[in-house]
Amino acid sequence: MNQKDSSNKVISLFNKIEDKNNNCKSNARVISITSGKGGVGKTNIVVNLGFALSRLGKKVLILDADLGLGNLDILLGIAPKYNFSHVITGEKTISDITIEVPGKMKIIPASSGIQELTRLSQEQKIRILTELDLMIDPVDVLLIDTATGISSNVMYFNSAAQEVMVVVSPELTSITDAYALMKLLSNKYSVKHFKLLVNMAKNIQEAQEIFRNLNLVVKKFLDISIQYIGHVSFDENVRKSVKRQKVVSELYPDTRASKCFESMAKKICISRESLLPKGNTNFFWENVLHKKHN
């Protein structure tokens, strides 16, 4: 091949990539909410942050990607009749299985069936991507409730998402497990930017100190950056709301935790332009469907 042919080939390749990017309809942000240790409040954060973002006028879609006991359904008092496995078999469309919950948020109950995403035929992939495109088109923020820990499923969603929000509680093991999770995501999956949220903090000082200490260790040993996104206070009203299967910000709009979610949602909206890495929702789904589980 002469030089002209090869540069034409490169130009045509770039054109194809650009065409593809320009045809992507949705610009929703894709944020995965994750943690090294279980029970630190991920599911509560997904629901309440989603609710606060909805209040700010954002169209929020939640993906329940916890293959274990994610508890999104319990937390919201819903009983999804269908899930992702019905989409894979072709019995239902994604829109059929999507549920609207308080705050006008929508949930895709994907905990069952989502593991099969990597084993789909080409035809199934195209059908599901087309359905997802339609579903995602009007969405501003897609929040993913991941399972806990370092299973391949968790890695898979975190490495495909644009933004990874790591949740820690003041418990020491939650902080060391968060470090281990970020280390693995960085070394094995090239995820280099993280957001850190401290949940169940006594006060803002405690949360900031946790961030400072973790950030010091990370700077010393890992090649990553962490952005402190804020804290959520320990608040008995969160537990009361869970028992009543309601969103805390709906039941107790003025309680400490609700105020934290409100300011965090605002912060997330502001951080849009400056901190977003490349890619969009279509990129995320394509990543999810085409990546292999490691």
Ligand X SMILES: Nc1ncnc2c1ncn2[C@@H]1O[C@H](COP(=O)(O)OP(=O)(O)OP(=O)(O)O)[C@@H](O)[C@H]1O
Q: Are 195 and 225 in contact (CB under 8 A)?
A: no
- 24/242 with CB nearer ligand X: 242
Element (H, E) at 132: helix 122-136
Give the closest residue to 43 by CA, choosing from 142, 162, 144. 144
Binding mask of the shown chain, residues 124 to 153, with x at each position contacting ligand X by CB under 6 A: ------------------------x-----
Dihedrals phi, psi of 188, to nearest 5 degrees:
-100, -25
Binding mask 42-81 for ligand X (x = CB under 6 A): xxx---------------------x---xx----------
What tokens appear for 6 in the block? 């090869």
Q: Compute the half-sphere exposure of residue 174: CA atoms within 13 Å on the CB side of its CA.
A: 22
Rank residues 234 and 285 by Cβ distance to ligand X and give the closer one. Answer: 234
x/- binding map, residues 21-50, to Mg ion, per CB under 5 A? ---------------------xx-------
Find out whether 231 and 204 touch, Cβ atoms under 8 Å: yes
Among 196, 214, 229, 238, binds ligand X (CB under 6 A): 238
- Which of these ranges, 87-95, 113-121, 154-162, 234-242, lies near ligand X under the rule CB under 6 A? 234-242
Q: Which of residues 103-122 bind ligand X (CB under 6 A)?
A: none
- C-alpha span between 32 and 142 (Å, rounded): 8
Residue 35 near which of ligand X, Mg ion, none (CB within 5-8 Å, type-dependent):
ligand X
**Sequence-distant (≥ 6) Cβ neighbours of residue 276 within 8 angstroms:** 29, 162, 163
The footprint of ligand X (CB under 6 A) covers: 35, 38-44, 66, 70-71, 148, 199-200, 232, 234-235, 238-239, 242, 257
